[in-house]
Each structure stands twice: as structure tokens, then as C-alpha cells.
Amino acid sequence: MSRNPSAPVLQADGRKLYQQAAAAIASAIQRGDYRPGQRIPSERDLAEAHQVSRPTIREALIALEVTGLVRSRHGSGIFVADNPPSGTLSLSLDIGAFELTEARRLFEGETAALAAVAISDADLDQLETLIGEMDRENQAKIAGERADREFHMVIARATQNSAIVGVIESLWDARYSSPLCAHMLERARSVGVQPRIEEHQEILNALRARDPHAARSAMRDHLGRVIDGLLEATEIDTIARTRAELAEKRSALARRVAV
């Protein structure tokens, strides 16, 4: 697809990139480029038009869904709301799940490395217990992250540094205080994304070995896979839409062949 010359190429202007993309799409809707009930271009086409990544467009579309300007139809795509809000939209939805998890990967990786040289046997035993609780929560399909959050907080407290504990706690709290992040995580949970037991076990094994390099690597690998999982989870609608389109084409072809 060639780039739509009317779609602005986003530039650094002090706002997060997803906010710029969301504002550009919102402006197009409010100009009447896309009418109420109309399906908007695909994630790929919007990314090409604005010359940004598909994850950026994905966060922008989720932000617009949170504000009520668009709505997703499972297996069909993203559509302008039948009664979209008028006037200037507030897109200050704070931080998205991709950005937040990237920050966690940086800070929690170093936290795990420091914890490896200071962690107590009691802390290690608690981490083992929390992994068991995570597994039981997964099996019962309990919607919540109590055991997962506490696992990471035990590691933070094991550093014996209150500033580090405060940073890690604030990063976890942002998962719930940011409307955009909370919405993205809820979407991930709705398609079955759960804490990965084996990855938490790898972190615990590295901490038991008192190996800071292995602990850093295990934590960073774990949170890198969390990012991958979020990408896959938020792409489910795109995959489903493609399958629906293919099914419709097959049905149309079958009807023609039957004539």
C-alpha cells in the first residue's frame, strides 16, 4: 500500500507516540474521513500511512476504544462508534502495557541481580510457595495477579533497598492506575494469557544459585516474553478478522462455482 499523503507522518512533539497516532486517527474521524459505523483501515495500513510501528498503532486504537471513539468487533475489525463523542478528546491515558513492561524489564532485571547476592533462605522459600500459588490460580483460571505481583515484590524487598522497592511497587501499581494499560492487560487475560510458571521457576533457580548474572538474564527473558505475549494477545482480533475474510471469500467462491 502506498502511503496516504493526507495522513501525517508523526514527529516528536512531547507526547507519547501512541498518543500522536491516536490524535491523528481521531482527527480523521472528526473530519468525517471515517463515518459512524464505518470500518477504519487495518493496523498494517495505518502503520504504513503514519510511518510508525504496528504496536504503536495497536496502542493508539486501544486508546481510542477506551475513550469510546471506536469499537472492536471480534473477527471483523475496528469500527467508528455509532455515536462517537464530539469535541476534543482527552488522550492522556498515561502509559501503555508495552512501555510499562519494557521499563519493568530494565529495572527488575537489575533488581534480580542485586537480590541474588542478598536474598535469604526464607525469601527463597516464599518464592517457591508463590510459584505454587500462581500455578493453582492458573489452573483455576482466577483473574488476578496477587501471587505474581508478590513474587516480584519479594525479590525487590530482598535487595534491602527501600528506593528499589518503591520503584518496583510503583511500576506494578501503574498496571491498574493507567486506563490504557489496564484495558490492554484485561484484553490479554480475556484470551488466556497467564503468568508463566516455568519462567518464574528459572528466576528462582538463579536466585537460589546466588548468581546475579543468571538472575538478571532470567528476569529480562521473562519480561521480554511478557511483551511478546501482549503483542500476540492484542493481535488476536487481527488474526480472527483475516480468517473471517478468508472464510467469506471461500463462501463466495463456492457460490459462484455452484452456479
Mean pLDDT of the chain, nearest integer: 82
Whether 121 shows a pLDDT value over 90: the answer reads yes
| Cα 99 to chain centroid, rounded | 8
The lowest-confidence range among 50-54, 119-123, 165-169, 232-236 is 232-236
The verdict on pTM exceeding 0.85 is no
User: How does pLDDT run across 194-207, given as a tens digit for each residue?
Assistant: 889 999 999 999 99
Mean pLDDT within 173-196: 79
Is CATH 1.10.10.10 what the domain over 17-93 is classified as, yes or no?
yes
41-55, 186-200, 238-252: which is most confident:
41-55
User: How does pLDDT run across 64-75, given as a tens digit for each residue?
Assistant: 887 888 988 766
The dotted CATH code for 97-236 is 1.20.120.530
8 CB-contact burial (10 Å; exposed 0-12 / middle 13-18 / buried 19+): middle
Whether 44 shows a pLDDT value over 80: the answer reads yes
Domain boundaries, the chain: 17-93, 97-236
Q: Using an 8 Å Cβ cutoff, are 198 and 83 in contact?
A: no
User: Which residues are bridge partners to 218 per DSSP?
Assistant: none
Mean pLDDT within 224-234: 82
Name the CA dihedral angle for 36, 186, 190, 20, rounded to a multiple of 10 degrees: 40
Mean pLDDT within 224-228: 87
Query: What is the Cα–Cα distance from 14 to 125, expressed in whole angstroms?
Result: 45
Can you tell me which residue has the cell 468525517? 32
Q: Using an 8 Å Cβ cutoff, are 96 and 184 in contact?
A: yes
